[in-house]
Amino acid sequence: IGFSKDYSTVLATHHTDEFGELCQGFNAMLQEIRVRDEKLSQLATTDTLTGLANRGHALESLQTMLTRAQRLGRPMGVLLDVDHFKQVNDTYGHPAGDQVLRDIAHILQANVRAYDLAARYGGEEFLVLCDGADLPATVDMAERIRAAVASHGFRLADGQTLHTTVSVGVYVGTSAHTTAMQLIEATDQ
- Catalytically active residues are 124
Q: Nearest 10 degrees: CA dihedral of 71, 114, 57, 4?
A: -80
| Closest among 154, 164, 149 to 109, alpha carbons compared | 149
| Closest among 70, 77, 145 to 116, alpha carbons compared | 77
φ/ψ (deg, to 5) at 130: -100, 95
Q: How far apart are alpha carbons 189 and 185 in whole angstroms? A: 6
Q: How far apart are alpha carbons 19 and 1 in whole angstroms? A: 18
> Which residues make Cβ contacts (< 8 Å) with residue 65, sequence separation at least 6?
76, 117, 129, 131
